[in-house]
Amino acid sequence: GIKSISMFEVKDGKLEAALERVNEVLAAYSEIEGVNSTLVTMATLAEALDLIGLKPPE
């Protein structure tokens, strides 16, 4: 099989709209037998470190 990974940086306040658009695109492939998709939302390094009270190196 083929595995594809795409990464997008989304502007502040635009995550919901971006997720909706990606889901629209993935929906087009959902009718193809054997094709599966997973959408994972992740943070930037700076955002992830901020969540645990750390700052990225300068």
Smallest Cα–Cα separation from 26: which of 40, 38, 16, 8?
Answer: 38
Containing structural domain, residue 46: 1-58
Q: Are 45 and 55 in contact (CB under 8 A)?
A: no
**pLDDT at position 25, please?**
92
Digits of tens for pLDDT over the chain (58 positions)? 788 888 888 998 999 999 999 999 999 998 999 999 998 888 888 888 898 999 888 8
- Structural domain total, the chain: 1
